[in-house]
Structure 1
Amino acid sequence: MTATETGTPETGTPETAGALHADAVRALGDWRPAEPEQERLRLDYLRHLADQPDGLYRSCLPAHITASAAVVDPVAGRVLLTLHPKVGRWLQMGGHCEPGDRDLASAALREATEESGIPDLALLTRDGVPVPVKLDRHQVRCTGKDRPENTHLDVQYIAVAPPGARELISEESLDLRWFDFDGLPELTDQSVRDLVARARALTG
């Protein structure tokens, strides 16, 4: 059998890959952002998925869709950020889709749970369905420092932590720390600040 028939460790079986792809098309197709730039990104993401059956996996180059989530404790007015070892900045939790992910929201929740160490996170929903709050396209070198840059097409969610949740750092972080909504660290880019602002507005 060929790799296409059996799947690969990165993309799983054709059935799981197809289900994840279909969910991504549905999630992005149903979401309607208010800002023109976000709408342009949404349409770009959908074109990417239309052109790339494997467009959600890191093996798809030069671009692939990723999933992330801002972990927030609304009661305490704080957000949990990770100091990323490759980027050198404080970021939300997130990363690549994996074969076991049944949908984009599950991928974002898995990454948030793994990187925060908090087991009882809940994604923000609309009518009972987890929905993205923001899209962000950025350049990275996820295939290695000596490899060309590739593009992450990130789909961003909000994960609400229980009041007083205790984090547990993973090997994927240089540091893991809660920050007040009004006290984000200097090494945080505008994309993260915008995501945190949206999380604050939607959970406050």
Structure 2
Amino acid sequence: MGEHQNSDHALAGIGQFAPLDARDTDMWSRLVMFCRQEPRAFGRDPLTSHVTASAFVLSPDLSSVLLTHHAKLDRWLQLGGHCDGIQDACFTATKEAYEESGLSRIRLLTSEVFDVDVHDIPASTKEPTHLHYDVRYLFVAEAGEPIASKESHALAWVPLDQLASEADSVAVVARKWPLWRERLGL
């Protein structure tokens, strides 16, 4: 995948991305435009949109993904969170994966961005509606047992072949994984 990259598919603090379809191209273009126009893109100002980072953590046998039942949003989602001013989305995804999973060792499968998802965050008493420019990376669990954090009602290993009924934000891992698995030689 790396040999097909060019400067249009790399961003400082985010990395390389190879769009696979029209959705990917649109999401990447939106992220690039946002990062070029917003000097505080990696911040957490409640009045503006911001870059977030997520981790799709695969089981050791690569057949399931670890999802969290997010306490605030009351939905099953991948692990992840805000960059909080740190301009390194992969670092943030790694940190959030450890904090939210309870796993003692995870491994980044590739430094390339796996997916980008731009989505609305509903208004709350603390902040207005805004966008999250979520940058997602692939990991594999290597040691430890999942333990839910205070941000989660529960954690579950969900078989990839059972994700079709989930929102596209989560189901994307099942749709893209076969191609990535081949490209990574796994």
Q: Same fold (TM over 0.5)?
A: yes
> Offset of 1:105 from its aligned partner?
0.7
Code of the residue aligned with 1:148 in structure 2: it is P
Give the equivalent residue in structure 2 for 1:93. 79
Q: CA RMSD in A?
A: 2.3
What TM-score results when the alignment is normalised by the length of structure 2?
A: 0.81
Give the equivalent residue in structure 1 for 2:12. 22
Does 2:171 match 1:181?
no
Supply the distance in 2 between the matched residues of 1:56 and 1:86 (Cα, whole angstroms): 21
Q: Deviations over 1:123-159 (max 9, x none)?
A: 121xxxx111111111114x73464211101011111
Give the equivalent residue in structure 2 for 1:139. 120
Note the residue ranges of structure 2 that are not aligned, 5 or more in a row: 1-10
Supply the distance in 1 between the matched residues of 2:127 and 2:45 (Cα, whole angstroms): 13
Give the equivalent residue in structure 1 for 2:177. 199
Q: Deviations over 1:44-78 (max 9, x none)?
A: 21111111111111216431111001111141622
Note the residue ranges of structure 1 that are not aligned, 5 or more in a row: 1-20
Q: Deviations over 1:62-108 (max 9, x none)?
A: 31111001111141622111001122111000110034x46211111
Q: Deviations over 1:29-53 (max 9, x none)?
A: x322121221122122111111111
Supply the distance in 1 between the matched residues of 2:65 and 2:178 (Cα, whole angstroms): 9
Structure with higher strand content: 2
Supply the distance in 2 between the matched residues of 1:47 and 1:76 (Cα, whole angstroms): 34
What TM-score results when the alignment is normalised by the length of structure 1?
A: 0.75
Give the equivalent residue in structure 2 for 1:154. 134
Q: Answer whether contact 1:57 1:65 (CA < 8 A) is retained.
A: yes
Matched residues, percent identical? Answer: 32
Supply the distance in 2 between the matched residues of 1:120 and 1:183 (Cα, whole angstroms): 25
- Aligned pair partner of 2:42 in 56, 81, 93: 56
Supply the distance in 1 between the matched residues of 2:125 and 2:177 (Cα, whole angstroms): 32
Counting only pairs closer than 5 Å after superposition, residues 42-53 of structure 1 correspond to structure 2 as: 42-53=28-39
Supply the distance in 2 between the matched residues of 1:60 and 1:45 (Cα, whole angstroms): 18
Cα distance change of structure 1 residues 44 and 200 upon mapping to structure 2, 3 Å threshold: same
Supply the distance in 1 between the matched residues of 2:23 and 2:51 (Cα, whole angstroms): 18
> How many aligned residue pairs are there?
172
> Offset of 1:190 from its aligned partner?
2.0
Cα distance change of structure 1 residues 190 and 23 upon mapping to structure 2, 3 Å threshold: closer
